């Protein structure tokens, strides 16, 4: 029965990774750019949300906290795109990559400056207690995380694959010049992509916050690394791949922590990622060759 | 309907199109023929706003549209079927068509879809299929259908015969005829001179970035020797 509990814990953690990875892989799909500050948008959003929600208002329903986090991350993500990436659209691809790393450092140091180097602890009340059935115990937080990630992924999926704007995003990802000839404004789509991709990271911020209730400046780096790993594991630019990669990473970490040693969880997760890439260099769901003409 | 005045296009390496003047009147189907690298695609891209001209003006329906952003061009009523088709391979056939109707805003675009499916029944059959999996001819029809979804009054076709088998070319050109008969003004770019001359009212001949001849197919055929010299088609006769 313990094993079922661990599956649920792993999937809940994986759901959060999947959300961050989805944003990362969406941005990669449209701009062909590794958004090196994606994890830091996640982190910085956490500080802002904790500051305004916990300390200023307190006691807000978790659903509202989630929406605020998504909105904050979305605005922050779009600001990052304007400042760090838009000026370098015509430059060599290494330039925005470096600019992204610079933005990552700026956000980390800004967090250090404003909130200090120490860890800040807080708690979000998700409003659901622990659930037990058939001898297993699951914390309400994990159920909320699982449910919220599923709902958010479904809404995102609908947006990307069933709406006019989602089609425009996919057309722009495939061929920005031809998309512009259809009346689509690529710059608007890029901004929107950062808005939506970062909102997904913002949702993860609220969910991880509910789970761990702790934030520190370097959190963004480790989360960014996990989003990176999950996206690559599933196949860069592939939405289903990002979800599968995120879930796999979460489950792996939970099982490593409980059966081997919590100290090895990152090492084993990364080790498995490297193994997968040795066998499938384009990730689990990545395409072997691009068949474009 | 469309007028190019002294259009000059320059890339880093130098001028590729010099002082080009062209006029396409409403309801006409006009050709632009010329060999590899003559500058045909560059002119089309300049009309669509993808390339900014070094000098010269583009007038459409009497209005100066020089330097219009590419995304604003469909709203003028100009649709461009690009060289090499450039369909969105990962999108379905119907999604490609719906992207073509993007400029109309939200909605099902049922009327436009019906019209395009009527012209190209094969697209209706394949509507749910991934566009990249279709044959070259089907992709060319999709590219034309996608351009028609914007309900243009002026259609640019850049080498629609490129890479297609003769039989497929024939059916693509039948469709182009049909679209023209329904009232579309068309600017047709071709390397295949005979093919182009069979379908146009008039044609321009471009060589190394300059217009060297203009006339009806009969007039151009009558000057076969000159045509051969410009287009290097001599060995075919
Ligand atoms: N983006 C670009 N930058 C620099 N040079 C270019 C660019 N695009 C085209 N050229 C050059 O401009 C010239 C004209 O090219 P263009 O594509 O307009 O010719 P074309 O008549 O369409 O040829 P084709 O029949 O092969 O399609 C060529 O010499 C080409 O190499
Ligand atoms: Mg060309």
pLDDT, tens only, B50-78: 999 999 999 999 999 999 999 999 999 99
Q: What is the 3-state secondary structure (H, E, C) of B116-184?
A: HHHHCHHHHHCCCCEHHHCCHHHHHHHHHHHHHCCCCCEEEEECCCCCCCHHHHHHHHHHHHHHHHCCC
Lowest mean pLDDT among A121-125, B123-127, B134-138, B153-157: A121-125
Q: Which residue of A has its CA nearest to B139?
A: A293
Q: Is residue A288 part of a domain?
A: no
Q: Is residue A293 part of a domain?
A: no
pLDDT, tens only, A71-116: 999 999 999 999 999 999 989 989 999 999 999 999 999 999 999 9
The environment of the single-atom ion ligand 2, i.e. residues with CB closer than 5 A, is B 40-41, 83
DSSP summary character for residue A69: H
Q: Taking Cα atoms as reference points, which of B181, B101, B65 lies closest to residue A167?
A: B101
Checking if the pLDDT of A291 tops 60, the result is no
pLDDT, tens only, A5-57: 889 999 999 999 999 999 999 999 999 999 999 999 999 999 999 998 877 77
Q: Taking Cα atoms as reference points, which of B201, B159, B143 lies closest to residue B177?
A: B201
Lowest mean pLDDT among A16-30, A149-163, B128-142, B213-227: B213-227
Q: pLDDT > 70: what percent of chain B?
A: 97
pLDDT, average across residues A162-167: 95
pLDDT, tens only, B14-41: 899 999 999 999 999 999 999 999 999 9
Q: What is the mean pLDDT of chain B?
A: 93
CB-CB neighbours of A293 under 10 Å: 12
- Per the CB < 8 A criterion, the answer to whether B216 and B202 are in contact is yes
- Per the CB < 8 A criterion, the answer to whether B8 and B15 are in contact is yes
What CATH number is attached to the domain comprising A131? 1.10.3470
Q: What are phi and psi of A214, to 5 degrees?
A: -145, 145
pLDDT value, residue A281:
84
Q: Is residue A80 part of a domain?
A: yes
Beta bridge pairs of residue A238: none
Domains of chain B, residue spans: 1-77+154-160+186-237
Q: Is residue A90 part of a domain?
A: yes
pLDDT, tens only, A128-152: 888 887 777 888 888 899 999 999 9
Residues of A with CB under 8 A from a CB of B: 164, 167-168, 170-171, 174-175, 177-186, 291-293
Mutate to test the pocket of ligand 1, among B12, B18, B37 (most ligand atoms within 8 A of CB): B37
Give the domain range for residue A259: 2-279
Contact of B143 with chain A, judged by CB distance below 8 Å, is answered with: no
CB-CB neighbours of B129 under 10 Å: 14
pLDDT, average across residues B168-187: 95
Total domain count, chain A = 1
Q: What is the mean pLDDT of chain A?
A: 90
Whether B95 sits inside 8 A of A292 (CB atoms) is no
Give, in order, the Cα–Cα distances in Å from A54 to each of A57, A60, A112, A217, B210. Answer: 6, 8, 19, 18, 70
For A67, half-sphere exposure in the C-beta direction (CA atoms, 13 angstrom radius) is 5
Instruction: For residue B95, list chain A residues with Cβ-Cβ distance below 8 A.
Output: 167, 170
pLDDT, average across residues A232-245: 92
Q: Which CATH superfamily is domain B1-77+154-160+186-237 in?
A: P-loop containing nucleotide triphosphate hydrolases (3.40.50.300)
Q: Is residue A287 part of a domain?
A: no
Checking if the pLDDT of B236 tops 90, the result is no
Whether B102 sits inside 8 A of A168 (CB atoms) is yes
pLDDT band for position B233 (cuts 50, 70, 90):
low
Q: Of B95, B102, B140, which to mutate for an interface test with A (greatest number of A Cβ within 10 Å)?
A: B102
Spatial separation of the C-alpha atoms in residues B159 and B147, rounded to whole Å: 14
Cβ neighbors of A83 (< 8 A, separation 6 or more) are A103
DSSP string, A162-222: HSHHHHHHHHHHH-HHHHHHTT--HHHHHHHHHHHHHHHHHHHHHHHHHHH-EE-TTHHHH
């Amino acid at each position: 029965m313990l094993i079922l509990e661990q599956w649920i814990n792993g999937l809940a953690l994986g759901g959060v990774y999947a959300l961050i990875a989805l944003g990362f892989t969406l941005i990669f799909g449209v701009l062909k750019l590794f958004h090196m500050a994606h994890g830091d948008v996640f982190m910085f959003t956490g500080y802002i949300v904790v500051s305004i929600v916990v300390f200023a208002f307190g006691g807000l329903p978790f659903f509202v906290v989630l929406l605020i986090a998504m909105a904050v991350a979305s605005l922050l993500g779009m600001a990052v795109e304007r400042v760090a990436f838009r000026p370098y659209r015509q430059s060599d691809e290494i330039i925005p990559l470096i600019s992204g790393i610079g933005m990552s450092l700026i956000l980390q140091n800004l967090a250090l400056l404003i909130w200090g180097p120490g860890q800040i602890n807080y708690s979000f009340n998700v409003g659901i207690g622990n659930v037990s059935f058939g001898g297993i115990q699951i914390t309400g937080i994990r159920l909320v995380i699982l449910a919220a990630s599923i709902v958010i992924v479904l809404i995102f999926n609908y947006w990307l694959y069933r709406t006019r704007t989602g089609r425009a995003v996919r057309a722009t990802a495939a061929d920005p010049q031809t998309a512009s000839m259809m009346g689509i404004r690529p710059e608007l789509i890029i901004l929107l992509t950062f808005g939506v991709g970062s909102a997904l990271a913002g949702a993860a911020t609220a969910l991880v916050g509910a789970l761990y209730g702790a934030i520190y400046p370097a959190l963004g780096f480790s989360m960014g690394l996990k989003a990176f790993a999950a996206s690559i594991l599933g196949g860069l630019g592939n939405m289903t791949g990002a979800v599968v990669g995120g879930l796999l990473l979460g489950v792996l970490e939970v099982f490593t922590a409980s059966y081997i040693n919590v100290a090895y969880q990152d090492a084993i997760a990364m080790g498995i990622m490297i193994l997968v890439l040795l066998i499938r260099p384009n990730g689990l769901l990545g395409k072997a060759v691009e068949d474009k003409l | 309907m469309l007028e190019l005045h002294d259009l000059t296009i320059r890339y880093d390496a130098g001028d590729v199109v010099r002082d080009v003047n062209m006029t396409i009147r409403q309801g006409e189907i006009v050709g632009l023929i010329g060999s590899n690298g003559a500058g045909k695609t560059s002119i089309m891209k300049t009309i669509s706003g993808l390339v900014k001209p070094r000098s010269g003006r583009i007038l459409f329906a009497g209005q100066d549209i020089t330097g219009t952003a590419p995304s604003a061009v469909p709203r003028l009523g100009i649709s461009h079927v690009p060289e090499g088709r450039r369909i969105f391979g990962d999108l379905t056939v119907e999604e490609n068509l719906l992207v073509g109707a993007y400029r109309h805003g939200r909605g099902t675009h049922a009327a436009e879809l019906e019209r395009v499916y009527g012209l190209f029944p094969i697209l209706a059959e394949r509507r749910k299929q991934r566009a990249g999996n279709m044959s070259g001819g089907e992709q060319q029809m999709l590219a034309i259908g996608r351009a028609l979804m914007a309900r243009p009054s002026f259609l640019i076709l850049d080498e629609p015969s490129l890479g297609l088998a003769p039989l497929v070319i024939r059916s693509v050109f039948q469709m182009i005829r049909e679209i023209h008969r329904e009232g579309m003004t068309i600017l047709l770019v071709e390397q295949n001179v005979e093919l182009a001359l069979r379908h146009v009212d008039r044609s321009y001949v471009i060589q190394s970035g300059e217009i060297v001849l203009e006339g009806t197919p009969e007039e151009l055929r009558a000057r076969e020797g000159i045509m051969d010299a410009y287009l290097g088609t001599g060995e075919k006769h």
